[in-house]
Amino acid sequence: MARILICDDQELMRDSLAALLAREGHEVVAAGDGPQALQRIASGKVDLLITDLKMPKMTGIELLTESKKLKPDLPVVLMTAFATIQTAVEAMKLGAYDYIQKPFEGDEIKLLVERTLEHNRLRIENAALKSAIQDQNRDRPLIGVAGGMDQIKKKIELVARSSVTVLVRGESGTGKEVVARAIHAASDRRDRPMLAVNCAALSENLLESELFGHEKGAFTGADKTRRGRFELADGGTLLLDEISEIAPTLQAKLLRVLQENCFERVGSSTTQMVDVRVIATTNRDLEQEVAAGRFRQDLFYRLNVVPIELPPLRDRTEDIPDLVKHFLHRIARRDQQAFKHIEPEAMRLLQKYPWPGNVRELQNIIERAVILETDPAVIRAQTIAPWLRLPHQNPVAAAQDLAGKPLADIEKQVIMSTLERFRGHRVKTATALGIGVRTLGMKLKKWKQDEESMMHEVGA
């Protein structure tokens, strides 16, 4: 709860208001005049100042002005009689959050206090979020010019000026989220929130609630009303990661939001308008998904207003030295340790490797090398070489082994082998195969049902 300072020269008003707010769980301190209130603000934590407008020694306006000098972010609520409402309105221009007219009911002041505290909490969280996003954008810049990266940077600058939907495509680990955040940071929406949703990580029902919110009692477990990401990102940007994994029923609802800028919470018939810029990412071929009937064609066209295709790291090996240098500097700064260099032979190994995991895999390798390298100053080739070996397989022999097998059997063989390689870790398996976790789960569930059905027939 909050620490609230009440300033009023009338002892009865001061004490009754203090008792009312204390019953709500707040810590309340009181002052009989402006100078006393300023001393309390200067000497301790205060989350909210409630002050009368007309007082001796110092008026509420003067107290407001002086309190803002001591604590600019302190929210102030003025108590005023009808004859001084115009003065209270003027005070709001000077930084007061709101005013309340005397006499007032207890529920009125309680509601105003909660609204003021909630507004201030959201303001503080938003400021912290913007700061974190700015730090993240500084810490995760788009590095390199090879493979068309210079053209991608120019496209980001151009698309950031508008609010059109952007579809960022590329293999897993190529930096699609980094591009999305760069677009937001360069746009007029930079001072509004940017939120992200991983469409593959949630079930259909949970994803619907995450995107659009829900009303209390809308479904089992919905014990309170919840705002969705579209509502929370109003005025800002929403990143829909792995958009290909969204269920068909939700695709229709998403299309409506993109076309009409409106939606309803789950369990509500009230339509809400929003202004949200959507950036979607995918590592799948959406044209193939459309052809197979798994993704709506109209939604694809609506998302693909401005496409940005990120090249795999194997097509831009000239950028690897700059990427490595960036990761090493970031690790040194983060861990407050000496910067480690990388020897030329180690760099040559990095540039020869095909990087199936792209930039994310490179980053992980550098993180691991910094931790495990015993040389205090240099990362050596012998340290990283064991991590850059791909399983050797004769491609002709591999093709002969697969020749004549049904495609469904080959798919199952590849998925189960990959799942075994990652010891049953579904997220890692899906990432390595370039499919969504939800898609992987559906395939595994189907194969299990087929096996159970076959055993039942044999038993019968």
Q: Which residues pair with 198 in a beta bridge?
A: 241
60 shares its domain with 90: yes
Residue 451 has pLDDT above 80, yes or no: no
Q: With CA atoms as reference, report the closest residue to 79 among 144, 151, 20.
A: 20
From residue 109, give the alpha-carbon distance in Å to each of 29, 114, 132: 16, 9, 34
- For residue 366, the enclosing domain spans 314-388
Query: Do 244 and 289 form a contact (C-beta atoms < 8 A)?
Result: yes
Residue 103 is predicted with a pLDDT of 86
Average pLDDT, the chain: 87
Across 161-189, average pLDDT: 93
- Beta-strand ranges (E) seen in 140-193 are 166-169
Per-residue pLDDT tens over the stretch 138-155: 556 788 888 889 999 999
Chain segment 64-119, per-residue pLDDT in tens? 999 998 998 899 999 987 656 777 778 888 889 898 988 899 999 999 999 999 88
Tens digits of residue pLDDT in 262-310: 999 999 989 999 999 999 999 999 999 999 999 999 999 999 999 999 9
Do 319 and 307 share a structural domain?
A: no
Tokens of 419: 């799942």
CA atoms of 199 and 214, how far apart (whole Å):
17
Q: Which of these ranges, 252-256, 287-291, 368-372, 388-392, has the smallest mean pLDDT? A: 388-392
The residues near 214 (Cβ < 8 Å, ≥ 6 apart) are: 222, 225, 226, 228, 265, 266, 267, 268
Answer yes or no: do 153 and 254 share one domain.
yes
Please check whether residues 178 and 291 belong to one and the same domain.
yes
Q: pTM value?
A: 0.60
Peptide bond just before 344 cis, omega within 30 deg: no
- Residue 108 falls within a domain, yes or no? yes
pLDDT-derived band at 458 (thresholds 50, 70, 90) equals very low
CATH number, residue 438: 1.10.10.60
Residue 410: pLDDT band (50, 70, 90) is: confident
Intra-chain end-to-end CA distance of the chain, in Å: 65
Residue 398 within any structural domain of the chain: no
Q: What is the mean pLDDT of residues 224-228?
A: 87
CATH number at residue 227: 3.40.50.300
